Amino acid sequence: MHASLFTDSARRLLDFINASPTPWHAVSTANQMLRGQGSLYLDERESWPDLTPGCGYHVIRDGSSLVAFRPGTEAPSRGGFLIVGAHTDSPGLRLKPRIAQDSTTLVRLGVELYGSPIVATYADRDLGLSGRVFVVGDAEPEVRLLHCPESLVRLPNLAIHLNRGVNEDGLKFNRQTELPLLFSGAIFIELLAHRLGCQPEDILSWELMAHDTQPGTFWGAGQEFIASGRLDNLGSCYAALEALLEPAAPGSATRVVALFDHEEIGSETRNGAMSSLLPDVLERIALGQGDDRSGYKQALARSMLVSADAAHAWHPNFGGSYDADHALKVNAGPAIKINANRRYASDGHTVARFMQVCERAGIPYQKFVQRSDLGCGSTIGPMTAAKLGIATVDVGSPIWAMHSIRESGGALDPVYLSRALHAFLGGIA
């Protein structure tokens, strides 16, 4: 593969992540990408127009989950659905609703942990604050997206002179008392109001999170690696979108990309992978194309889902943390994730199918199994598989430092993943 090809794809991924500090921004950025390619936004509260094979449509629920699809030339009862699933959220620090004023000079912003970030990686970083804010509206409250890309808050380390054991014991923070972010003497609500162009008293509620202000970058002697926040799992979201948007003649199957919020906190929300979002959209597609309820069930039985999420790349300094026979290299293609206890949804049949997809598309792939004496993480795959009964395989690009504020991986892997997903959606196997 020509060098500039993979660089272009990784560059576009980093641009997507830089523009998407939060799940709401990720969906907003995806919405712009889809609309730019002619996809029609469908409102869940309305009836939908007749669906045209090959045309693009997308649905958004609560601003942070999105399902995009292109109907196939056959009704789903005969053509089935080919689905790629991923998640839009990443672990981190989320602002509490009340701002504690310690003194006249230093305001601290209390935070809760969202999911399982590597907390120590937030220390001494230049942190921005972004998310969504609800303000008084004419009828219902209005939502405003807020993106503060500049360094606004900070979690300074404690000097080593006051924490002598830090290099032996590791950097630890008490979640309640030691994690509040240092802001300044300014009034936080006034800053928010200024940014949003509203009055401070109009601000009703917010969901804001701290994020690294350092943009994603290439690194290494040949610039063969990338580093960025939120590679888990915006790397998979972006690859899925690229795979859907790359022009292709419509096949018999309906191609679907489902991007869910809340994977990092268990998915049991109104727009997480456990929600009715994907079943609701799939059923409406089937009914809209002339299938009845029984036809919809036939469609599910004919379908397949690829659950794409980041995987753990082999770290040579910590070789003992891996099963050496199933260690993943970066820049060597997507991993197929396998777990006997089905923390990954992959089964023999879906593994074989995804291998064939990769082989026919000329994309390298690897197989991952967690060490038998370490607990295995999970993904949205087992949930959507259980909920819909759709055959599922778990795959993903290997990265280092999963859940760090700055993860890293291979610059070739974004294009490998998006091409493999494109081949899958194209019905190549």
Site of interaction with Co ion (CB under 5 A): 232-233, 309
Q: Which of 148, 274 has the CB closer to Co ion?
A: 274
- Both structure tokens of 168: 């032996």
Which residues is 218 bridged to in the sheet? Answer: 226
Q: Are 303 and 390 a contacting pair, CB within 8 Å? A: yes
Crossing angle for the helix pair 413-425 and 348-361, nearest 10 degrees? 110
Q: Which of 309, 413 has the CB closer to Co ion?
A: 309
Q: Which of 86, 135 has the CB closer to Co ion?
A: 86
For residue 326, give every residue at least 6 positions away whose Cβ sits within 8 Å of its Cβ, in sequence order, or none: 367, 368, 369
Spatial separation of the C-alpha atoms in residues 118 and 34, rounded to whole Å: 33
Query: Smallest distance from the beta carbon of 263 to Co ion, in angstroms?
Result: 6
Query: Smallest distance from the beta carbon of 89 to Co ion, in angstroms?
Result: 8
Q: Which of 232, 291 has the CB closer to Co ion?
A: 232
Q: Which of 254, 404 has the CB closer to Co ion?
A: 404
- Both structure tokens of 12: 């576009």
Q: Which of 119, 300 has the CB closer to Co ion?
A: 119
Q: How many CA atoms within 13 Å lie on the side-chain side of 86? A: 33
- Both structure tokens of 211: 């994020």
Rounded to the nearest 5 degrees, what angle is found at the Cα of 370, between the Cα atoms of 364 and 374? Answer: 165
Query: Smallest distance from the beta carbon of 232 to Co ion, in angstroms?
Result: 4
Q: Which of 193, 338 has the CB closer to Co ion?
A: 338
* Cis peptide leading into residue 233 (ω within 30°): yes
Using alpha carbons, select from 29, 79, 21 the residue that is nearest to residue 58. Answer: 29
Q: Are 57 and 69 a contacting pair, CB within 8 Å? A: yes
Spatial separation of the C-alpha atoms in residues 66 and 31, rounded to whole Å: 8
Q: Which of 242, 309 has the CB closer to Co ion?
A: 309
Query: Smallest distance from the beta carbon of 267 to Co ion, in angstroms?
Result: 11
Q: Are 326 and 373 a contacting pair, CB within 8 Å? A: no
Query: Smallest distance from the beta carbon of 134 to Co ion, in angstroms?
Result: 27
* 366-368/335-337 β-pairing: parallel
Query: Smallest distance from the beta carbon of 236 to Co ion, in angstroms?
Result: 8
Spatial separation of the C-alpha atoms in residues 3 and 5, rounded to whole Å: 5
Query: Smallest distance from the beta carbon of 185 to Co ion, in angstroms?
Result: 38
Q: Which of 233, 384 has the CB closer to Co ion?
A: 233
Query: Smallest distance from the beta carbon of 99 to Co ion, in angstroms?
Result: 31
**What single-letter amino acid sits at 213?**
T
Spatial separation of the C-alpha atoms in residues 302 and 330, rounded to whole Å: 33
Query: Smallest distance from the beta carbon of 269 to Co ion, in angstroms?
Result: 16
